[in-house]
Structures are given as C-alpha cells and as structure tokens.
Homo-oligomer: A and B are copies of this chain.
Amino acid sequence: MTEPPGRRERKKAATRQKIADTALRLFLERGYDAVGIRDVAAEADVAVTTVFSHFASKEALVFERDHDFEQRLTRAVTDRPPHEPLIPALHREVQALVRHCTAEGSAPLRRMIEGSPALREYEESMSLRHAQALAAALAADPHLSRSATACRATARFVIDAYALACQADDPGATADEVFRMIQAAWEATAP
C-alpha cells in the first residue's frame, strides 16, 4: 500500500496529502467558514484547480479518510467467520467505529463538523452512500436469504445507530441499545 509505484504517482499522492493536511490545519486554526479554497491552495502552494482535481468539493477535504468507513462496515459482513450471526458482527464493528470517532483527538474535528451546516449535510449524504454499500453487501451474502427491502432497511438502521451513537452522551450504551432494536427488527425478517 505504501510501496513506490513510480515517481509520478508518489508525487501525486504527496500533493494530495499536502493539500489535505494544509486544509485541515487551516480549518482547525481559523474555522471552516473563515478559510477559502483560495487560502488552502495558496498555503499548500498549488493552484485552485489542483485542489479540485484531488477533491470533489471543499467539504470532501474534511472527510479525507472516510473510505475506511465504508470498507470496514462491508468487511464486517463479508469477512466474518462462516455462520457467525450478522448483527453482533455489525454491532462490534460499529462500536469500534464509534470509539474511533469519539476519541480524544477527534474532538476539535467533531466540533467543527457539528458547527457547520454544510459539513453536516455532506456527512449525511455520505451516510446514504454507506448505507447503500452495506445493503449491497447484505444482499450478496449467501447465508442471509433476506429480501432486498430487509437488507436496505437493516443497512439504514445500522447507519442510524452509528450516527446516533456518535452524538450521544454515552456512545457505547447508545449503540448497545439501538442494536438491541436492530436485532429484533432483523429477526422479524427471517424467511
């Protein structure tokens, strides 16, 4: 993953990283709204067009590492031991993700996101994509012969659990409680 696949791609990755690091630093220093794309570009010493060739939007600069999220959720489904029940596997993974997102170091970032309507909206739309990916993973699992609707609903419920837990006072307990509900909902779909 970190091996050199050619100078060109290494330079590209370095540029991307420099932009992301600079952006996050400026956002945290001065506030998201107070920093313009032109500021980020200038500070990272690249052109504005270069920023947008690496990131689809200003908001995307903040959520650089969210590829993980989707993959971790779907892998919690696809990579679980055979015959391991689905919901506890998802529960465990969500708990880990919630801990990651409510960890000490993430507090300023979290506060920034909650403070910006644009960022909250963007995060919401990411959640929708994650739910769709998770629904696809559920539908593809041969051990779970559930309807497409049941898969889609369960996927959204799991994303809801994550979102609720991240904002809750006691994230762990909240995730536990919501997953009790999800477990019951899932069992109600048994064929």
**Interface code A173-191, partner B: CB below 8 Å = 1, 0 otherwise?**
1100110111111111100
Nearest B residue to A161, CB-CB: B153
Q: How far is the CB of A58 from chain B (nearest CB, A)?
A: 14
Q: Does A55 contact B (CB under 8 A)?
A: no
Q: Does A89 contact B (CB under 8 A)?
A: no
Q: Does A49 contact B (CB under 8 A)?
A: no
Q: Is A153 a contact partner of B164 (Cβ separation < 8 A)?
A: yes
Known pairs A124-B124, A183-B188, A188-B183; A178 contacts B160 (CB<8 A): no
| In the complex, chain B residues whose CB is within 8 Å of the CB of A157 | 153, 156-157, 160, 181, 185
Q: Does A120 contact B (CB under 8 A)?
A: yes
Q: Does A116 contact B (CB under 8 A)?
A: no
Nearest B residue to A154, CB-CB: B181
Q: How far is the CA of A178 from the CA of B174 in the complex (A)?
A: 22
Q: Does A71 contact B (CB under 8 A)?
A: no
Q: How far is the CA of A134 from the CA of B63 in the complex (A)?
A: 29
Nearest B residue to A125, CB-CB: B121
Q: Does A150 contact B (CB under 8 A)?
A: yes
| In the complex, chain B residues whose CB is within 8 Å of the CB of A153 | 157, 160-161, 164, 177-178, 181
